[in-house]
Structures are given as C-alpha cells and as structure tokens.
Amino acid sequence: MIRLVYLSFLLHAWLNTCYTTYINYIESAEYVPANLSNVLLYTGSCSDCICQAFFSDNSSKYEVINCYTINHTCLLFPQFVSTSIIRINTNSKLISRQTLFNTTASCSNIYGQCGGGGWNGTTNCCSGLTCTYQNASYSQCLSIVVTTSQSPITATYYDDGRQNASTSIYWDCCKLSCGWPYKASVTNPARTCAQDGITTIDSNTQSYCNGGSSYLCIDQQPWNVSSTLSYGYAGGFIAGHSEWDWCCACYSLLFTSGAIAGKELIVQVVNTAYTSGNMFVLQVPGGGWGGSSNGCANQFSSNYSWGNQYGGFTDRANCSQLPSFLQAGCYWRFDWFMNAYYPTARFKAVTCPTALTAITGCVRQ
C-alpha cells in the first residue's frame, strides 16, 4: 500500500508558440457559433473527445476549436472565424486557450492585407490563415472556412465517459497490494519478486516493508508507445470501489493539466493507494518511496541514491544514480512525462493491453 501526501498544484501553464497562450479550463461547455454559416461541421464520429477552444475577447482575433480523440486524429472544428459564445452547459469539458497575436511577427493577422498592387508589406499570413485574393489592389488574410455539411448547427460536447483523478508518482520497492492472493478474481496475483527484483516469489510472502522478503519487480516500469501514448503501472484508488474492482484492472488516463495535457497513459493498477478520492500513483523508478520504509535502500546496494522521500529526483541527470536496470523508467519521467508536477487526469476503465499483463501475469477474469 502507498501512503500519500497531498500537494496543491496550479491549474495553468504558459506555452510559447507563435503566440503567447494562456490555458485555463472550462468544465461542462457547449459551443454556440454566432454565425452558424461560418462553422466547419465534422461529419464523422468523434467519441471520447477533449476539446480545445481557442477564443478571444473580440472578433478581430483568430479563433479555432479542435476536438480530438485520444490519438489526436479527430478534428471537429479545425478553424473558423466568428464572434463565438462559450456557454456553460451540463456534459463535458473544454480546454480553452486564449490566443494573443504576436503583433511583431512578420506576418499579417486575420483580415490584414497580404497583397495587391502597390502593397509593400509582408505577403505572409500568420499561422492558420490564408492570403485570399479580393481584387487587383487588395488581398487579405482569412481563415479558410470549409462547410462539409449543412447540419447539425450546434455542437454540444457530451460526456466523455471519464472521471477526474489526481496522480502522483512513487517507487518504494515494496510488495504490491494486488500481489496477494484473493484480492480480485484474477488468473494470478500481480507478480512480485525476490530481492533481485527478477525472480518471481510466492504470492503469500510478506513484503520486505512489513518484515518479509517480497519486493517490487524491476520490470514494472513505464514506457512510451508513441509521443502521445505510454504504458505503465500504478497504485490506484477509486472512490466507492475496492481492490476487488481495481486490482489488475487497466485504466486510460488522459492528462488534463501541465505540459502533458492531452497525452494518454494506460496503467494496470497493481497496488492500492489508500486515500479518499480517485487517485493513480504511477510506478516510476526514482519517484520517491513515500510513507513506506525505504525498501529500495535494502533491496539494492547502498551505493545507489533514491532522491527525496516524496517525488524522488528533481533532475534527469539524477537517474544515473539508480541501478542501471531502473534508469529507463526514470528517464521516461523526464522525457515523455515531461516531469509533470502532480498532473490531473480524466480516467476510464479499458481492456488491459497484453503488453502490460504479460509483465505482471495478472489478468482479470
């Protein structure tokens, strides 16, 4: 089991692209275009979306709404220009960004001139805009509006089937709670190991952290599948449920805060994080041993360093202080996971990828 500390976190971040972008969150929203004929309508299905709204205070700025599936391929409103209204409603979630134009950039903004007889200025339009011929003396930067369907008119963002969760990270080298028999209806308890972290040990063996000789196996680390998808393991807690429900179950976490917002992590829950709200404590080597006694110092040579009790390492370079076979998961934290600070997520249960269950040997029946 995992003992936790709680930390508050800031729910905004600054990004720098061509524009300065402020991100905040609007829970439960509906997009209502002011001029319905200017909306690009997506005719395919778009289940399981997180929507990004780029909107502005007034009509002189560029606006865009995108709606993605988990793999970022489902585009709902690629771009449009209108005086839009973001209206609070019951169902899902919008991630909104307020876009400020970079007026010093060498490009013309929306409605700006980009050509025509006698025009001496730039012929480049800013990102997302196209230089559009009006007449011999005037070309203008416009957002391309493509209408692929005449209906429907209003897009309501529906429930994405996910719930909020907090996340954290740990690596305490202790036996997994779901590594005991009879925790759930599974083929085998989650695999736990002898001191070498490799040899499977009998599931009735007590945890080193409780005076026994069972440890966390070294292969239950996270890894990246693509730039937007990773697999890993976690200690979990789901409000109103028990280990019978979550032991060895898999969950898709769609991060909603920090630099990794929009990325997906699929975890198999093999441990239990006793808390009160939905929580996933990701197993990341060098992520801190939390409230447990430091099993890691015992499991491996005292030559190694494990960082701070909570959060573990603060720098990527510290990963080299771990045993070599634990370094990959530590680097994952600083690379794919971008050392995200307690990111929030929206989660839902999914069928376990066999790549995850092959390592733990635990499959729910």
Ligand X SMILES: *[C@@H]1O[C@H](CO)[C@@H](O)[C@H](O)[C@H]1NC(C)=O
Residue at 284: amino acid letter: V
- Choose, by CB under 6 A, the member of 91, 134, 185, 298 that binds ligand X: 134
When the beta carbons of 44 and 211 are compared against ligand X, the nearer one is: 44
**Least gap, CB of 46 to ligand X (angstroms):** 8
**Least gap, CB of 9 to ligand X (angstroms):** 10
When the beta carbons of 236 and 287 are compared against ligand X, the nearer one is: 287
Residue 256 binds to ligand X (criterion: CB under 6 A): yes
Residue 25 binds to ligand X (criterion: CB under 6 A): yes
DSSP state of 351: P
Q: Which stretch binds ligand X (CB under 6 A): 54-62, 83-91, 153-161, 239-247?
A: 54-62
Residue 240 binds to ligand X (criterion: CB under 6 A): no
Residue at 89: amino acid letter: N
- Choose, by CB under 6 A, the member of 9, 12, 15, 35 that binds ligand X: 35
- Choose, by CB under 6 A, the member of 69, 188, 195, 309 that binds ligand X: 69
Q: Which pair of structure tokens corresponds to residue 2?
A: 């995992």
Nearest to 61 by CA among 96, 100, 94, 34: 100
CA distance to 129, 151, 222, 360, per residue, from 339 (Å): 34, 43, 13, 25
Residue 304 binds to ligand X (criterion: CB under 6 A): no
| Dist. CA 62–CA 78, nearest whole Å | 12
Count the neighbouring beta carbons within 10 Å of the beta carbon of residue 55.
21
| Dist. CA 305–CA 315, nearest whole Å | 13
- Choose, by CB under 6 A, the member of 336, 340, 356, 359 that binds ligand X: 336
Residue 79 binds to ligand X (criterion: CB under 6 A): no
Element spanning 97, H or E? strand 85-100
Residue 324 binds to ligand X (criterion: CB under 6 A): no
Residue 305 binds to ligand X (criterion: CB under 6 A): yes
Nearest to 220 by CA among 308, 326, 320: 326
When the beta carbons of 8 and 104 are compared against ligand X, the nearer one is: 104
Nearest to 265 by CA among 243, 239, 233: 233
Catalytically active residues are 172
| Dist. CA 89–CA 200, nearest whole Å | 51
Nearest to 77 by CA among 62, 92, 67, 86: 67
**Least gap, CB of 58 to ligand X (angstroms):** 4
Q: Which pair of structure tokens corresponds to residue 184?
A: 């759930």
| Dist. CA 295–CA 285, nearest whole Å | 13
Kindly give, in sequence order, each residue whose CB lies less than 8 Å from that of residue 43, ignoring residues fewer than 6 positions away: 148, 149
Residue 27 binds to ligand X (criterion: CB under 6 A): yes
Residue 91 binds to ligand X (criterion: CB under 6 A): no
Site for ligand X in 142-181 (CB under 6 A): 164
Q: For 360, phi and psi rounded to 5 degrees?
A: -95, -20
Residue 242 binds to ligand X (criterion: CB under 6 A): no
Residue 138 binds to ligand X (criterion: CB under 6 A): yes
- Choose, by CB under 6 A, the member of 314, 353, 355, 358 that binds ligand X: 314
Q: How far out from the chain centre does Cα 270 lie?
A: 20
Query: 244 in helix, strand or coil?
Result: helix
Residue 58 binds to ligand X (criterion: CB under 6 A): yes
Q: Which stretch binds ligand X (CB under 6 A): 2-10, 165-173, 183-191, 312-320?
A: 312-320
Residue 226 binds to ligand X (criterion: CB under 6 A): yes
Judged by the rule CB under 6 A, the positions of this chain that interact with ligand X are 16, 20, 25, 27, 35, 37-38, 57-58, 60, 69, 71, 73-74, 102, 104-106, 118, 120, 134-135, 137-138, 164, 224-227, 256, 301, 303, 305, 307-308, 313-315, 318, 335-336, 344
